[in-house]
Each structure stands twice: as C-alpha cells, then as structure tokens.
Structure 1
Amino acid sequence: MLHITIPVDNINERCYILGVIFRQFLGLEYSISANESNEGYSIGFNGSLILFKDHFWGNLRKEKSYLNKNAIPKDVKLCKNKYIVEKDIPVLFGDEEMTITDETLVCGIDIFASSFFMLSRWEEYLGMNNDDHGRFPGNQSLLGKNNLLHRPVVNEYVEMLWNMLVDLGYKGKRVYKEFQLSLTHDVDALTYSSYRTVLGDLIKRRNLLLAAKNLGYVWGKDPFDTYEYLMEVSEKLGLKSHFYFMSTDSKQPFDTSYYIKRKKFLSVVNKIKERGHILGFHPGYYTYNNMERWEYEKDMIENALQQKVSEGRQHFLRMDMPKTLSIWDSCGMHIDSSLGYADIEGFRCGTGDEFTVFDFINRKELKLKERPLVIMDGTLKQRRNYSINKSKEVIRNYVSIAKKYHMGLTILFHNSSFFGYWDGFYDVYNELLNV
C-alpha cells in the first residue's frame, strides 16, 4: 500500500485533494501522515519514493491565506517529461524539475495544489469581472485566458502520476472508469407560448411573416414538446435522459413561467417515469445564494413530481462559490451539474468526471458530488455563434477527449432548442448517435 507524508499545514485541503486523486480517480488505497519536517508530498512504496515539491501551500501556511487574487498564477507554463500523455502538460503551480534515480523521483509540478485549484474553484470566490448575471466568465478564468479550457488538466495530472508510480515499480491495480455520456435537459419552458409569441410578432416586432409562421404552432405540434425525441436518442445510446424541472413562482425577470400545476406537466412527467428516465431539479434564478428560497422551490418540485429529487442544475448556471454548493449539500442533494461556463465550452473544473465537492470557506469535504457541465446548446449557438457543422465538430472533439481519458461527459440541450432560431439543432443533437 502507498504511504503519503504531507506537511502539517493546510491539512484539510491536502487530505481532500489526495483523496480525490488517489481514491476517486485511481481507486488506490493509501495511508497518510503529517510531518513538520516534510517540505512536499512524499509517496512511498516498496522502498521507492516519489516527492512532489510543495510550490503552493508551502508559501501560504496560514489557513485560507491562499484566498487572495495574488495567489492566482499570472500565466500557465507548459512543460514536457516522459510521463505525460500529451505533447506537453500545463503547470499551474511549480516548475518543470524532474529528477529520476533508480528508487527516487522528484517532481517540480505541484499537481495537488493545481488539481485543488481546478476542482474547488476557489479562483471564482474572488468574484473578479463577473458578468451581468453575477457569473464568473470562462474567458476570465486562468485556463480560459491561456486557451486551455479544452484540456482536462486534472485527468492529465492523474495519468502522469500513475505513469510515475508504474515506472518506479508500483504493482497495485488502478481503476479505469468507462467513458459515460450524461445527457441533461433543463426545462425552462414546458410549452411554447404560441398566442403570446404571435401577438409579439404583430405588435412588438411588426413582422407579419414571422407571425404567420408562428401561428402554425397554435394548432400544430408544440415545438417545445421534444421530450420523447430526447428520450429516444438516449435510449438508442443505452442511456437515460436527465430532465431538470423548475418550480419557481417568483414572477421576477429571468425566471420562467410557473408550470408545475398544469396538466401538461403531469403528462410529461408520467411519460418520463414510465420510460425510466431521470427527474431532477432546476432551481430558479434567485435561489443560488438564498437557502430559504432554494428549499421552498425544492419542496414545490418534489410535491409536484410526487418523489424526492437528488440531482439538478442552477438556472442560468448562477453560482456563488462555495455558498451555492453548500446549500445543495445542506438540502440533501447528491449531485449538482452547474459547473460549466455559459460563455465557452470546456472543462471548468479541469475534468468531466464526477467528484466530491470541497467547501473551502468552512474547510470541509461535503457529501455532495459535482458532475461538471462541459457543453451547452446556448454556448454553441448564442455565445460562440458556431455553425451547425462547427457545433457537431465540437461535440465530436469532446467525446474523443472523454473517451481517451475514460471520463464522463455532461451535455446540456434544452427541450426548447430545436426550432426557429435553433433550426438545424436536431442535426447537432443527432451527432451524438454517431460518436
């Protein structure tokens, strides 16, 4: 068994990230101890030793002193060594030192602080340059600024670590996860408001052609009623769709119409239940930092669904780190899937894999798991302005990455994203059938 020795400071944070990397990602057992004389992470086994230099907490020994914008790296270095799986590896904290002897390996890349940086998202707590919805933009993140959001850096560190262990003679068996798509659907609007849209076309937009086109939906099939189509795609892939429903009755801007009392809602929910797909919760715009409001809406959706909910995603991806996730944890939720950027696709947490959340303010590991969002329909179409072919290419690329790292990949397509402005997105979504 591996034995890991760490310094005596920031023990909660160090133990958390070691647990995620060794147990959750690699499936390896280990023992751990703290030593005042230790200046890094010493990993010992069968007379061999790997030492990772401590380039982060070693300079910030006071608890939570790292929660400062000056602790964020100014840039990301790229270096090479014989253990990496790509042509280079991003270095958030540390340097490219790599000293190898028969029984000892010294590495200058602080993969543990770097992984903690990505998974905990403490970078976002500092609230720099938030957008109009209070969201931390991907293009302002460290990896976004360095054009590295397409790389699952935490998984890259894990693979490098494993190759080091093997090279020094470690004989233990690791866990290899399976590539797994998670297809999720936020139901912001249950049905298409045909009459209201037509009136808006006539009075507000003064567009007779658009009004005539939308008038057809008054008597025809509701274009938002894509629930069976979404389930059919998932079933062809051997998967279950995850439908996240809203229960907000706030009547405030950015919250959608209250729909859980409508007959159509029960009809849709019953079909989803009959086909064995997953029902979840989509808390409203004003819940992300308001536990009372959050609990109220959760009670509402559970009463409407006639069952408990255990997973979901925040509306508009609004997130107050780590307060929002602590609300989810306190209210008994098992999985959040809000941690994806609205403005750019990619690995906000440095991975597509599910992992345990850490509350860096209260310095404790939560029961809640994060299943990071990687690709969203609105990002592809509205924020990135991709063509249909480019959107398909993005999906293929991220599926390829996820398969390479035996990693999860969570994708969000709303039930309402398949007509009008979204013409062609059936083709984009059908691309999943070809991957």
Structure 2
Amino acid sequence: MLTIYSPPARAAEREYIYRVILGEFLGLDYTIAYRDGEHVELTLTSEATVERGNPPVRKLRMPDVLLQTPDYLWLTPASLPKQPLDWFMPPAKGSEEKPLPVIFGKRGRAGRYLETLGEEGEAGFYLGLDVFGSGLFMLTRYEEVAFRERDRHGRFPGRRSLACRESFLHRPIVNEYVELLWELLHKLWPELARRKREASVYLSHDVDYPFYVYGRSRLRMIRDILMDALRRRDFESARKKAGIFLRSRRALERDPYNTFDWLMELSEQAGLRSAFFFITEEQRAKSGLDGNYSIDDPVIQRLLQEIHARGHEIGLHPGYHTLLNPVRIRSQYEKLRQIAEDNGIRQEVWGGRQHYLRWRAPDTWQFWEDAGLDYDSTLSYADRAGFRCGVCYEFPVFNLKTRRELALRERPLIVMDQTILHPEYMGLGPEQAYETIRSLYLECRKYNGDFTLLWHNSQLVKSSDRSVYRRLVLELLGPNSRKGGSRENRLSDSLERRAGERCVQKNHQPSP
C-alpha cells in the first residue's frame, strides 16, 4: 500500500483529490500520514522500516503549491496560476510526446521539473508538477470561482479559461498528469497494478424544440423561412420548413425537428445508447429561451414512452432561469420523475444537463445534489469545445465553498454541436467539424476515457449536419463500427427512409 506523506493544510481538499486521482482514476490503495513540509511524498513502505535499519525508502516527491495558499488568498484571483505558464518535456515514450504545461509546480534543485533523488535515482524521483493541486484546480473549476467574468448568459467564457489562454483546452491535461504520475510510480515499484478501464461513448440530445411547428404561428414560420433563405442562404432548411408550412401542421412525422427515431436507430445500429434530456419548466414560466413545448403534452409523453421502450435514457434539462434557483431545479426534477412514473418509466440513474450550459461553480452542483440527481453533464464551454475540467473520466464533484465531496458525479461534456457549428462560436464547416470532434474523441481514446457528445434533435435539418453526425456515429464512435469498418453506405438510405416513418403519434394536433 502506498503512503502519502502530506502537509496538513486543507485536509478536506487533499483527501478528495488523493482519493480521485490515486483511488478512483488509478485504483491504488493508499493511506495518508500528515506532517509539516513543502512537499507531498509517496512511498511504498513505512518510516518504521527505515528505523529498523533497512535500506532508505524510495519515494516520489512533489511540490505542494496550491494547497499551501494562505486563507486570505484562497479562491481569489491572486491565487490563480501565474502566466505565461512554464512547460516541460516529460520522459519520451514515443514520437507523440508533447510538452506539459505546469499549472502549479516548482523546479527542483538542479532547475528541472524532473530530477532523480540520490545517485542514479536509487532514492526515487522529484517531479516538479503539483499533480494534486493542479488536478484539484481543474476538477473543481477553481478558476471559475476566483474569476468573476461572465458572458451575457451568465456563463464563464471558455476564451477566458486558463486552458484556452495557454492553448491546452484540446488536451485532457489531468489525464496527462495522471499518466506521468503512474509512469514514475511504476518505475519505482513495478509490483503496483493500476485499475483497468474501458472507453465509453455517451450520445446525448437536449430536447429544446421537439417539433418545429410547436408554438409557432404561421407568421412566425413565414419569417423563419425568409430568414433562412435570404439572410442565412440556407435554402435546404427554408425548403423543409416551407414543406411543413404548406402541409397539414398535424402531420408531425414530416416535421424537420422530429429526428428522434433517426437518432435512436443510428445509436442502435452502432451499438450505443442515446440520452434525451427534457425541459419540464411550467408553461406559465416559459420564455422564448425555454423551448416550445410542455412535458404534459400527450405527444411528448408518448415520445418519452418510446425512448424508454427502446432502451434509451431520459434525463433532465433544467430551464434557462434555474442557474441560481435550487427550488426550480428541484421542482423540475420532481416533475420529470412524476411524469416518468405515470408513464411506467423507471431508471436506476438520473442525470441531465443545464439549458444553454448555464452553470456556476460550485453552486449548480450543490443544487443538483440537493435535488437528488445522480450525475451532471454540463461541463463544456459554449464557445469552445474541449476539456473544461481537463479530464475525460467521470468523477465525483467537490464543493469548494462548503469543502465537501458530493455524491453527485460529473460526466464532462466534450463537444456540443452548437459550439462547433454556430457562427457566433467556432463556426466550423462540415469537414472541419468532423475533424475537430474526431481529434477530441481520439484524445479520450488514448486514456480509455469517456467521450460525451451533445447533438440537438433540432440540429439535423440540413443534410450536411446529418452527414457529419451519421459519419461520427457509424464510422468513429460506435463499438460495432470499430469492429467491421464503415457501414455508412449500407445504412444511410434505410435510416433516412425510416426517419419520418415512425412518429410518436401520426397526425396529432400539436400543442399551441
């Protein structure tokens, strides 16, 4: 068993991050011994062995930086990493080895970030990265508590994050730190065995607008069609919306946003499971920012039944105004559970995502915990795709204000469709979008991590968007697709044909 010799300051934060990195991510047994000092040291034997005259204990020593921050500076801008960051090249394991940013750290006596202790390293290694402090910084979103800037939707902007400013948002930097830590531990003690992991893919769909015609007057539809055609030059979307306008509005199977069957069919063919997150905000509290439907609508409830019957997941998508409103989050979750119960829908795990990715550290986590949800999957930046938490593993969350680990788990969102496609954000074309998502997915695969993708059911009107999503699922993400190569040619026609054939309830009058 490893022993961590640790300074005593901020014991709650230390116990959390030691458990996550050593216990959960690596699967190692350890014990903590507190003692004063400026370093954290890991050994595989106790100090008692040294006292009995045995050879010196080998150790891995690391600086203790963030968690030594004085109380009056804790969670303030003065405690944030100094920029520009230092970078160092870890021991080469292959041609793809890249320099690592030093979020928190301190060079050794010889002025390097990796040094041997004793001659030829017989006493161990000094690693100048504050692995535990930097991990805590990223996983808890420390900088988002200390740094107060927000965008017009009350969100911390990705462009202001340390990862974006220092150009490592596209890298799961905590995973990289953990791998370096493991490499040194294994060199010192080859008998150690780490936990084996399997890569996972989570496809999720925020249901903001289940059907285009819901809540839209004919005048509004005409305006939308003209905007698509004249301003956006998106003639395909204009044509499809005009088609539903000219046909009976009761025929929901041809609604351009009704892509649920297509999404589920695609996931099933690829051996994956989709999660659909629904807004349950009461109609009287709705604004133009909270979708266009009511969870009480019989059509929506039949949709929930079909999703559940096909083995996919249902989750919560709290409304726009829930950001700092725990009462609303709790009531909307209770509403979802009641609707699910009334429709015979039972799940062991309940999670979801904040609407518009409106989330604030650590308050929103606490509100979800108090409401009784099991996991959140909000944490990606709206304006930048990548690793907001610096990790591609699901993890338990920690409230920096109450200094408590919560039962709630975070399943980091890596990519949202709007982030890469919307002109206000990254504004990428179809091929660039595919390559960007592919690159982030492959980063997750390096660490047998979890790749979470959000694609709205309403973001599939254009054939180019459908093509990108279909290609991702069938060629890249699904375990079945990795076994037999691409099946896009064989499946695309049948999926397109079936997309509108199976509707929740054909020819049903939509809600106003």
TM-score (norm 2): 0.80
Change (3 A) 1:175 1:213: closer
1:52 is aligned to 62
Q: How many corresponding residue pairs?
A: 430
Contact 2:279 2:290 in 1 (8 A): no
Q: CA-to-partner distance for each residue in 1:305-347, whole Å, 9 max, x for gaps?
A: 2246610000011112111100111111111001110001000
Aligned residue type for 2:180:
M
Q: Residues 238 and 5 (structure 1 numbering): CA distance in 2 closer, same or farther, change over 3 Å? A: same
Larger displacement relative to structure 2 (160-169 or 206-215): 206-215
Residue number in structure 1 paired with 2:475: 434
Of residues 58, 61, 72 in structure 1, which corresponds to 2:80? Answer: 72
More displaced stretch, 124-133 vs 389-398: 124-133
TM-score, normalised via structure 1 length: 0.94
SS at 1:428's partner residue? helix
User: Residues 333, 131 of structure 1: CA spacing in aligned structure 2 closer, same or farther, 3 A cutoff?
Assistant: same
Give a deviation string over 1:360-403, Cα, whole Å, max 9, x none: 00001000100000100000111111000011101211121111
| Structure 1 residues 199 and 116: alpha-carbon distance in aligned structure 2, compared to 1, 3 A threshold | same
Query: 1:86-124, CA deviations, whole angstroms, 9 ceiling, x for partnerless residues?
Result: 321111011342221213211111111111110000111
Match of 1:285 in 2: 320
Which residue of 363, 386, 398 corresponds with 1:358?
398
The answer for the alignment partner of 2:9 in structure 1 is: 9
Q: State the 4+ residue runs in structure 1 displaced beyond 3 angstroms.
A: 201-213
Give the secondary-structure state (helix, strand or coil) at the position aligned to 2:32.
Answer: strand
Q: Which one-letter code corresponds to 1:349 in the other structure?
A: C
Which residue number in structure 2 is paired with residue 39 of structure 1? Answer: 38
The CA distance in 1 between the partners of 2:228 and 2:362, in whole Å, is 48
1:17-416 residue pairs with structure 2 within 5 A?
Answer: 17-36=17-36, 38-46=37-45, 47-58=57-68, 60-62=69-71, 65-73=73-81, 74-82=83-91, 86-95=97-106, 96-100=112-116, 101-193=121-213, 196=216, 198-202=218-222, 213-218=240-245, 219=247, 221-249=254-282, 250-306=285-341, 307=346, 310-382=350-422, 383-416=425-458
Asked which structure has the greater CA Rg, the reply is 2
For structure 2, the 5+ residue unaligned runs are 46-56, 107-111, 230-234, 477-512
Q: CA deviation at 1:286?
A: 0.9
Give the 3 Å change call, closer, same or farther, for CA 204–276 of structure 1 in structure 2.
Answer: closer
Contact 2:416 2:453 in 1 (8 A): yes
* Contact 1:97–1:109 (CA under 8 A) maintained in structure 2: yes
Q: Name the CA distance, whole Å, in 2 between partners of 1:23 and 1:278.
A: 29
Measure, in 2, the Cα distance between the counterparts of 1:385 and 1:273.
34
Give the whole-Å Cα distance in 1 for the aligned partners of 2:269 and 2:185.
40
> Which residue identity does 1:116 align to in structure 2?
L
Distance 1:4 1:84, change over 3 A: farther
Distance in 1 separating the partners of 2:155 and 2:393: 22
Aligned-residue Cα RMSD (Å) equals 2.1
Contact 2:209–2:292, Cα closer than 8 Å, also in 1: yes
Q: How much identity, in percent, do the aligned residues show?
A: 35
CA contact (8 A) 1:10 1:61 kept: no
Q: Which has the higher strand share?
A: 1
